[in-house]
Amino acid sequence: MYRPVAAYGGSVCPRSKGSRWAAVLVAALLPTLRASAAPPQDLRLYNGDLEMPAVVGAPPGWAMWGPEISKEPRNYTRHTGNPHSGSACLRIHHPGGSAGYLVTDPAHAIRPQAGMRYTVTFWARADRPVTASFGFTAYTSIAPFVDAPAPAMYELKVGTDWQPHSFSIRDGREFFVDQCRYLLLSFDAVRNRAQEGTLYVDDVAVRMEPSGDPRPLLNLNTIAHDPLRHRLTAGPSLDITVDAARRERPSTRMAGGVSFHCVAGYTGQPYDRAGKYTLDPRLEAAIRDLRLPMTRFYSVAFEPFGMEGALDRIAELCRRFGVAQETVVLELDELLGNKALSPEMWAHAVRYSRAKGYRFRYWEVSNEPYSSLWQLSWSPTGQAFPTPESYIAHLKGVARAIRREQRDAQVGANVSAWSLTWGNQVLREAAGSYDFVAPHYYSSAAAHRERFEDLVLTANYQTLNLALRIGALIRAYNPGKSVYQLDTEWGMISNGPGGEDADFVVRNGNIVGVVHRAVRLIYYTREAMLRGASSWQMLVNKDQPGFAFLSQQAPDQRFLLYWLTYYFSRYVGEWVLPVAGRAPYQSATGRLENGLPAVAPGPLTPVLATRSADGKTIFLVIANGSWDRSVPLRAQLQGFRAVRADALALSQPSMDSSALLGQKEDAVRPLDVKALDGSVTATVPAHSVVFIAVTGAGMMRPVARRGRMEEPH
* CATH code assigned at 380: 3.20.20.80
What average pLDDT does this structure show over 695-704? 53
Q: Which DSSP helix (H) or strand (E) runs through 349? A: helix 343-355
Mind listing the pLDDT tens digit for each residue in 348-398?
Answer: 999 999 999 999 999 999 999 998 777 666 677 888 998 999 999 999 999
Is residue 85 situated within a structural domain? yes
In this prediction, residue 676 has a pLDDT band, given cuts at 50, 70 and 90, of confident
283 and 413 assigned to the same domain: yes
Within 13 Å of residue 31, how many CA atoms lie on the same side as its CB?
Answer: 16
Q: Between the CA atoms of 580, 585, 591 and 596, what dihedral angle is there, to the nearest 10 degrees?
A: 10
Which residues, 6+ apart, have CB-to-CB distance to 43 below 8 Å?
A: 110, 205, 206, 207, 208
Instruction: Assess contact for 302 and 265: CB atoms under 8 A.
Output: no
pLDDT at 23: 37
d(CA 476, CA 217): 11
What average pLDDT does this structure show over 442-449? 92
pLDDT at 374: 72
pLDDT at 699: 35
d(CA 484, CA 471): 7
In this prediction, residue 20 has a pLDDT band, given cuts at 50, 70 and 90, of very low
* CATH code assigned at 129: 2.60.120.260
Is residue 240 situated within a structural domain? no
Which residues, 6+ apart, have CB-to-CB distance to 237 below 8 Å?
A: 582, 583, 584, 631, 632, 633, 634
Range of lowest pLDDT (102-106, 495-499, 536-540): 495-499
Whether 47 has a pLDDT exceeding 50, the answer reads: yes
What average pLDDT does this structure show over 25-51? 67
Is residue 710 situated within a structural domain? no
pLDDT at 379: 73
d(CA 54, CA 47): 11
Whether 5 has a pLDDT exceeding 70, the answer reads: no
18 and 83 assigned to the same domain: no
Is residue 701 situated within a structural domain? no
* Range among 6-10, 416-420, 551-555 with highest mean pLDDT value: 551-555
What average pLDDT does this structure show over 299-320? 98
d(CA 691, CA 617): 13
The tally of domains found in the chain comes to 4
What average pLDDT does this structure show over 695-711? 46
Mind listing the pLDDT tens digit for each residue in 118-171?
Answer: 999 999 999 999 999 999 999 999 988 888 888 888 889 999 999 999 999 999
Q: Which residues pair with 243 in a beta bridge?
A: 638
d(CA 174, CA 11): 22
Kindly tell me the burial class for residue 549, based on how many C-beta atoms sit within 10 Å of its own C-beta (0-12, 13-18, 19 or more). buried
Determine the 3-state secondary structure of 93 from DSSP.
Answer: strand
pLDDT at 117: 96
Mind listing the pLDDT tens digit for each residue in 497-521?
Answer: 888 899 999 999 999 999 999 999 9
pLDDT at 373: 77
* CATH code assigned at 675: 2.60.40.1180
Is residue 535 situated within a structural domain? yes
Is residue 156 situated within a structural domain? yes
Q: Which domain holds residue 422?
A: 250-570
Nearest to 473 by CA among 213, 255, 138, 226: 226
Whether 625 has a pLDDT exceeding 90, the answer reads: yes
311 and 406 assigned to the same domain: yes
396 and 296 assigned to the same domain: yes
d(CA 347, CA 28): 44
32 and 89 assigned to the same domain: no
d(CA 538, CA 275): 19
364 and 486 assigned to the same domain: yes
What average pLDDT does this structure show over 2-10? 27
- How far from chain centre, in Å, is Cα 302? 24
Whether 596 has a pLDDT exceeding 70, the answer reads: no
157 and 274 assigned to the same domain: no
204 and 323 assigned to the same domain: no
d(CA 484, CA 495): 30
**What mean pLDDT value characterizes the chain?**
90
pLDDT at 22: 36
Mind listing the pLDDT tens digit for each residue in 80-101?
Answer: 999 999 999 999 999 998 989 9
What Rg value do the Cα atoms of the chain yield, rounded? Answer: 27
Whether 702 has a pLDDT exceeding 90, the answer reads: no
Q: Tell me the angle at which helices 459-477 and 511-527 cross, rounded to the nearest 10 degrees.
A: 40
Look at residues 530, 546, 570 and tell me which one is the last residue of a structural domain. Answer: 570
pLDDT at 306: 97
Instruction: Assess contact for 254 and 294: CB atoms under 8 A.
Output: yes
Nearest to 604 by CA among 517, 521, 686: 686
313 and 196 assigned to the same domain: no
What average pLDDT does this structure show over 12-23? 33
Whether 38 has a pLDDT exceeding 90, the answer reads: no
Mind listing the pLDDT tens digit for each residue in 240-280?
Answer: 999 999 999 999 999 999 999 999 999 999 999 999 999 99
d(CA 618, CA 703): 17
Whether 19 has a pLDDT exceeding 60, the answer reads: no
Is residue 218 situated within a structural domain? no
193 and 330 assigned to the same domain: no
516 and 561 assigned to the same domain: yes
Is residue 132 situated within a structural domain? yes
Determine the 3-state secondary structure of 193 from DSSP.
Answer: coil
Share of the chain above pLDDT 90, in %: 79
What average pLDDT does this structure show over 419-447? 95
d(CA 633, CA 606): 12
189 and 261 assigned to the same domain: no
Mind listing the pLDDT tens digit for each residue in 165-187?
Answer: 999 999 999 999 998 999 999 99
Determine the 3-state secondary structure of 73 from DSSP.
Answer: helix
pLDDT at 292: 98
pLDDT at 595: 57
Amino acid identity, position 29: L
